[in-house]
A and B are shown apart, each in its own frame.
Chain A
Amino acid sequence: MLELKNISFSVEADGQDKEIIRDVSLTIPDNKFVVVTGPNGGGKSTLARLIAGIEKPVSGSILLNGEDITDKSITERAKLGLGYAFQQPVRFKGITVLDLIRIAAGKRLTPGDACEYLSSVGLCARDYIDREVDASLSGGELKRIEIATVLAKGSTLSVFDEPEAGIDLWSFQNLIEVFEGMRENISNSSILIISHQERILNIADEIVVLRNGQLVKHGSKDEVLPELIGTSEAIKECRNGVVVRSGGEA
């Protein structure tokens, strides 16, 4: 279970404080599939980076399975069971796909075992296992390898930032099955996916809408999804009490 309590984050831009996340509180329960959506620039990736420890909140706290991890490093959080697939995956000169999957798994997987992770993200493993994770890979290939590393790591809370981007040739159904399989394989685990895709929203247990750094809606799929379809530009103010009211009125 992941708990965000009154998280705020701002950066300095042009000598002024720019608020990017405003007093967000959110609980991701165990065994749930939570999808975060909302307009571009709404703060979704920043929220993911705060969870992974890449950014530190200005105020508020983060708890993983009851333990306060607000002051823990990226490495410590990873070891405690956080996984994070980047929206824009990183390239490495000289590091192969096999190297990266082994690093993720934290052990010397056989090439055969590593291949299974690649197959599950729709890559023909034989063609990729010895490739370098460098500029020779296309955006879509890189994105799938990124997902494979998070699968190989195995976490109790995994965050995937727009995993469907660039994966146009591969059916969403496979991607969704991969996520479902992952959640079933790790007991009491949950998955947070950042996505605009209706098909991904459709498999969510809960949907969260983030806009202007504020959590404007959080509820079950059945509650939230009908309002979003076709009207994502016109998300109304939150009507029910699920959402903690914003304290950061700008």
Chain B
Amino acid sequence: MMKFDEIQLRLLSEVADLHSVPEGAYNIRSNGESAGRVSTANIEITPKEEGNGLDIHIKPGTKNESVHIPVVMTKSGLKELVYNDFYIGEGADVVIVAGCGIDNCGPDDSEHDGIHRFFVGKNASVKYVEKHYGSGNGKGKRILNPGTEIYMEEGSYAEMEMVQIKGVDDTDRKTTATLKANAKLIVRERLMTHGDQRAISLYDITIDGDGASADVVSRSVARDNSYQRFDAKIVGNTACHGHTECDSIIMDNGRILAVPGLEANNVDAELFHEAAIGKIAGEQLIKLMTLGLTEAEAEEQIINGFLK
């Protein structure tokens, strides 16, 4: 495996909690190249012929295995578009850890656009964790545009945790999903923007099977002059259950637009949307101050808890 410098190691630990070579299958992409790849008996990682991504095949029935596919970028001005396809076999139960860390100390924009497609087999279960992180004080922006497409077969389960807490200047995120009967999708998004950052997160979820459900919850904080847009659409075509929620804190001159979108095309579709945007409650700050915290410390505790 390639040797990593300190910045790369720091990025790897931020986005994938990796401090050494991960267990199980993995591919580490560093500055546009594979810096190490391992398949296992049940999980096969192969590069696409065009060289712009990976095919990851998980055998039916694979249990308790994990795949790590972190990406780190430390060269200023690098732009890449990567397609990764995950084929999760029937009845498999796996954890996939992705994530992208960009350190940009240079003058040019660095951009990673990753399109992830998940084909979740019948009764298969997948937990997907994706963290985004940016650092470096160069003029060049750190840009991440993730696309996530989820195709869920009957009785499958997918839990997606997507976190972007720091340092990414610009994000356009698009997540689409289609669900067959009894499939269950859970999305937990955590987002914090600061400075002049801009983050857009669009969801387009179509429920096509009876008994299927989708639950999308976004918690976010917009501080300084940052801007966020949360646009969540669920279409229910069957007897199904859909819920979207946007729970946000704004600070300073932060701005947030939450756009609900519910479309019920079946009398037994039950769809809900909740959105709440506001500043930190004064009583919360006061309570922590009566315990001895300064206002700034209280704010930090409240935000950290909220985004945990």
Contacts and interface: CB of A to CB of B under 8 A. Distances in A.
Interface string B287-308: 1111111110000011011111
Interface residues of B, number: 22
A40 B250 CA distance: 36
A177 to B, nearest CB: 23
A164 interface: no
Interface in A65-113: 73-75, 78-79, 82-84, 86, 89-90, 92-96, 99, 103-104, 106
A86 B285 CA distance: 13
Contact of B293 (A94, A96, A103, A132): A103
A59 to B, nearest CB: 23
Contacts of B306: 93-94
Contacts of A83: 290
B13 interface: no
Contacts of A89: 287
A54 B286 contact: yes
Given A90-B284, A92-B284, A93-B247, A78 B290 contact: yes
A20 interface: no
Chain B residues touching A, majority SS: helix
A52 B301 CA distance: 21
Give the size category of A's interface with B. 20 to 34
Contacts of B50: none
Given A90-B284, A90-B287, A75 B294 contact: yes
Identify which of B281, B283, B290, B305 gathers the most chain A CB atoms within 10 Å of its CB: B290
Contacts of B247: 93
A95 B291 contact: no
B290 A74 contact: yes
A132 B304 CA distance: 13
A93 B304 CA distance: 10
Interface string A37-74: 00000000000000010100000000000000000011
Nearest to B291: A104
A79 B290 CA distance: 9
B301 A74 contact: no
A153 interface: yes
Contact of A84 (B219, B290, B302, B305): B290
A75 B292 contact: yes
B290 A92 contact: no
A226 B295 CA distance: 45
A92 B302 contact: yes
B113 to A, nearest CB: 31
Interface of B: 219, 247, 281, 283-284, 286-295, 301-302, 304-308
Q: Sorted from nearest, which 5 A-B pairs have the closest CB atoms? A: A94-B305, A95-B305, A74-B289, A78-B292, A90-B287
Interface of A: 52, 54, 73-75, 78-79, 82-84, 86, 89-90, 92-96, 99, 103-104, 106, 132, 149, 153
19 contacts: A75-B294, A84-B290, A86-B283, A86-B287, A89-B287, A92-B302, A92-B305, A93-B306, A94-B306, A94-B308, A95-B305, A99-B301, A99-B305, A103-B291, A103-B293, A103-B301, A106-B291, A132-B305, A153-B292
